[in-house]
Chains A and B, each alone.
Chain A
Amino acid sequence: MTRTLREVVFVEGVRTPYGKAGDKGIYAQTRADDLVIRCIRELLERHPELPKDKVEEVAIAATTQIGDQGLTLGRVAALLSGLPNTTPGYSIDRMCAGAMTAVTAVAGSIAMGAIDVAIAGGVEHMGRHPMGEGVDPNPRIIAEKIVDPSALVMGQTAENLHDRFPQLTKARCDAFALGSQGKLAAAYAAGKIQPDLVSVATRHKELGYGLATVDEPPRPSTTMADLEALKTPFRVRGNVTAGNSAGLNDGATACLLASEDAAVAMGMPVRMRLASFAFVGVEPEVMGIGPVPATEKALAKAGLTIEDIGLFELNEAFAVQVVAFLDHFGIADDDPRVNEYGGAIAIGHPLASSGVRLMTQLARQFEEHPEVRYGLTAMCIGIGMGGAVIWENPHHADYVASASKEA
């Protein structure tokens, strides 16, 4: 048989507002699965042109697949979202890059011709499921020194990055963090964040129902002085603080992916086209450097160089890890192409959900920047990995739709 690889496009992404994990957070008594179901239903609602039975896969990521994040969440969420029995689903775990992996996994299926339309997303309710809940590390990890014990504590891996790259000072990281807060506040003020949010009714036994409509973590009034005064919980007199890291958060994302042909045939918008992607492993104790080799690999696969990338959506697990990336590629810490709407330091980082947030924001920036041909979404991943996905902007003058390419 002959096989034609198909182009994969990003139709639309949505997310819940992100909340602070814990008893006082907006989602303290809200189920994790309900968060991601809300996103899936919103996608279906926004795309009445897509018949529900044409959704051929639902891949949902969660790092801690227990309780309301367990039970083959992709399948159960599909059923609870009102998709027909015929729509299959599965769960994905690649820690922070869960949703990103959900996207690349279903993209692989689409490209190969196995399916035409899929939903990919992720959820992490770190209040209900703290990082490391129920883990049982193999004793050989320590006994045989497979990885440095600090590799399992993400904050320590960030401190390790400071050791490896002494030029990445705390001051640079704090400045980057401050910028993230400011950029998000500006994006909110300009109404650039709100269109991708779905409101969530938040039931609380003692307080009654509320409605989450905006992100809870941002601290727009943060100053450098505030950041300098924060403790360094991962190392005495260290560099990594709550201010220059993403917090512990609750939230979910989902996006609609399709073959470009199917999207066009059904009348679905094409917001981004997948150019290439790569996941690469690094030393677990400096997991934050992961996006560098992942990006290099993805660029190579796409036949591009870093200069071709006009917009960057880099997950800000830690400021140091973003700054390390920028430093490596010779990009200024405050380059306007980078995280135009701010990043996880301000918005929050519900682990497995974040990948799709990066893509959703990049898609919106593509619309605003038709001059940009390619954009990058990238993130570091626990246990020493990096993930990078390069996207092509369909609004760019040189963009050629796949159907017309064949003709």
Chain B
Amino acid sequence: MSDPITQAGTPAPRPGDDKPRPGMSERSIGLLGDRKKARLDELARAGVDQGGVSLVRDAVRRLRRNPVAIVGAVIVGLFVLMAIFAPLIAPHDAVQRFDELTKNLTVDTIPGASGDFPLGSDPLGRDFLSRMIYGARQTLFVGVLATLIGLALGVLIGAIAGAFGGWVDVVLMRLTDVMLALPSLLLAITLVAMASRSSQWTVIFAVAIVSVPIFARLLRGSMLAQRESDHVLAARALGVKERNIVLRHMLPNSLTAVIVQATLTFAVAILDAAALSFLGLGDPDINRAEWGLMLGVDGQRYFEVRPELAYYPALAIIVVALGFTLLGEAMREAIDPKNRR
């Protein structure tokens, strides 16, 4: 069993673990006391890094044995590959209208599978299979950007609140409280409604903002817990600058939980984007192939005519959301100190 603490001699506190274990603190303080102040910063960082690596390595080891994590990772991997290599996989262009398809389009028929077009046509005579494959790309784009924007803003707010504490913390957390008091989709709807016309960016932004308070709270909680922890106390006692304590000691140790949350947020982001499209607040670009858009607009409008237009994007969204959720849950379990055995 690899013990993450022994590796560098400095304690590697784990997110969510605010109670230092007995025996660990004396040893680390004694060790730290022997070092020179000038070297402490570097050492502590190295300690954090190595502790981080071993923490990650430890988690990865447990993840590799967990079938849930493997299933999740495989789904996510395939999804990303499909997104990257979409132009190579897709048999046709995603926006080209084919004459052999359009000539069969009527008010209540949309041609199904035929020789060249395994999934048939979409309502505008475009190859549905190619749109599904290109859809992975746009879906990944929307999900990743929404998650990253939410993460960046949330981390910023959470880090400021957690680093300063006091009234800054109170004000910022009140702000997140106000955001959390609104139902998430309602907040997203309001945000989109506030833009004069919706675009892909309003959707991404709205979905991102919804996740900001979650990231902020998570990071802040973890950082506040560390303020009182031994390695921060040791660094402070040795006169490390406050800024360095926050940036080099507290923040890196708090990020694991946030990254895991980001995996789960991705699933929510693509579901919310689909919901916005369904409500008519999505991206108005008819050429854009994105699963949420395909399900929310065409899938809904032509459900009676050709339900496959809803089934395939829905299935794709469910599988991908499931993949990210499985992976995220497994990761959360893996980094949870309770499961460290």
A, B: real partners: no
Q: B-contacting residues of A (Cβ < 8 Å)?
A: none
Question: Which B residues fall within an 8 A CB radius of A?
Answer: none
